[in-house]
A and B are shown apart, each in its own frame.
Chain A
Amino acid sequence: MKIKAINIFKFLTFLAVLVLALMVRKKSYAEIPIPGQSVDEYSYSWVGLSLIENGMPVGISGIDGYKNSLPMYVNVDRFFQTVSTGEPLTINYPWMDHPPLLGLITGGYAYLSGARVFEDTTSYIIRKPIIIIGTISVALLGIFCWINFGYFTGMLGGLLYATTPLVVLSSRMIQAENAIIPCLLACMIFMSLYIKKKDDYWLLAAALISGMATLFKLTGFVCHLFVLFALLGNYKKINKSFLNDFGFFLVVSLPISFLFVVYGLVYGLENFMNILFSNYNRFYGIGPNSLIELIRNQRLTQHKFLPEVSIISGWLVFLSLITKDVKNIGNKLAIFSVFAYLIVYIFFGSQPYGWYTFPFWPLLIILLSKFLSDGIVKGKNFVAVFFFSTMILGANISQIINVFAFQVYANWWRIGVAAIFFILVIMSILKLKSKLFYKILFLVMMAGIIYTNVQYLNNINIDFWWNNIS
Chain B
Amino acid sequence: MLNRKKTLLIFGILYLVFVGVLFFGLRYRLKNKFSVEGLNKTISGKSVFRDTTTDLCKYQILGDPKEEGNYVKINIFCSNGKKAVSTVSLSAIEDKTVGGFMAEYARIAGFEMTLFSDQNFVCYLDGKLLTDEMMKDNIRPTSTIDCRENPNK
Cα A171 to Cα B28 in complex, Å, equals 36
Residues of B within 8 A of A120 (CB): 47-49
Q: Quick one: closest A residue to B32, CB to CB?
A: A55
Taking A85-B63, A120-B49 as contacts, is the C-beta distance between A201 and B39 under 8 angstroms?
no
Q: Quick one: closest B residue to A202, CB to CB?
A: B2
Does B115 interact with chain A (Cβ within 8 Å)?
no
Does A248 interact with chain B (Cβ within 8 Å)?
yes
Cα A87 to Cα B50 in complex, Å, equals 21
Does B119 interact with chain A (Cβ within 8 Å)?
no
A54 x B39 contact (CB < 8 A): yes
Does B17 interact with chain A (Cβ within 8 Å)?
no
Taking A87-B66, A251-B8, A266-B26 as contacts, is the C-beta distance between A73 and B34 under 8 angstroms?
no
Taking A84-B63, A120-B48 as contacts, is the C-beta distance between A58 and B92 under 8 angstroms?
no
Residues of A within 8 A of B27 (CB): 266
Residues of B within 8 A of A91 (CB): 43
Residues of A within 8 A of B46 (CB): 117, 119
Does A75 interact with chain B (Cβ within 8 Å)?
yes
Does B109 interact with chain A (Cβ within 8 Å)?
yes
Residues of B within 8 A of A115 (CB): 49
A370 to chain B, nearest CB (A): 31
Contact with B along A96-135 (1 / 0, CB 8 A): 0000000000000000001111111010010000000000
Does B129 interact with chain A (Cβ within 8 Å)?
no
A3 to chain B, nearest CB (A): 30
Residues of B within 8 A of A263 (CB): 22, 26
Q: Quick one: closest B residue to A120, CB to CB?
A: B47
B15 x A255 contact (CB < 8 A): yes
Q: Quick one: closest B residue to A203, CB to CB?
A: B2
Taking A80-B62, A81-B61 as contacts, is the C-beta distance between A259 and B8 under 8 angstroms?
no
B8 x A252 contact (CB < 8 A): yes
Size category, B interface = 35 or more
Q: Quick one: closest A residue to B104, CB to CB?
A: A73
B45 x A71 contact (CB < 8 A): no
Contact with A along B71-90 (1 / 0, CB 8 A): 00000000000000001110
A348 to chain B, nearest CB (A): 25
Contact with B along A296-309 (1 / 0, CB 8 A): 00000000000000
Q: Which of A49, A72, A244, A266 contacts B44 (CB 8 A)?
A: A72
A82 x B11 contact (CB < 8 A): no
B74 to chain A, nearest CB (A): 13
A86 x B87 contact (CB < 8 A): yes
B2 to chain A, nearest CB (A): 4
B91 x A88 contact (CB < 8 A): yes
Taking A82-B62, A86-B65, A200-B4 as contacts, is the C-beta distance between A259 and B22 under 8 angstroms?
yes
Taking A84-B63, A87-B65 as contacts, is the C-beta distance between A72 and B92 under 8 angstroms?
yes
Does B38 interact with chain A (Cβ within 8 Å)?
yes
* Contacting residues of chain A (191-226) with chain B, CB-CB under 8 angstroms: 199-201, 204
Contact with A along B32-64 (1 / 0, CB 8 A): 111100110111111111100000000111111
The contact sample of 27 A-B pairs, CB cut-off 8 A, is: A50-B42, A54-B33, A54-B34, A56-B34, A58-B39, A58-B43, A72-B44, A73-B108, A75-B108, A82-B62, A85-B62, A85-B63, A85-B66, A87-B66, A115-B49, A117-B41, A119-B45, A122-B49, A200-B1, A200-B2, A200-B4, A204-B7, A252-B8, A262-B19, A263-B22, A266-B27, A266-B30
Contacts A73-B104, A200-B2, A256-B15 given; 18 further ones with Cβ under 8 A?
A50-B39, A55-B26, A56-B34, A74-B44, A76-B47, A81-B59, A85-B64, A86-B65, A86-B87, A91-B43, A114-B48, A116-B45, A117-B41, A117-B46, A118-B44, A204-B2, A251-B8, A266-B30
| Nearest 7 CB-CB pairings of A with B | A86-B63, A117-B45, A55-B33, A119-B47, A200-B2, A55-B29, A88-B92
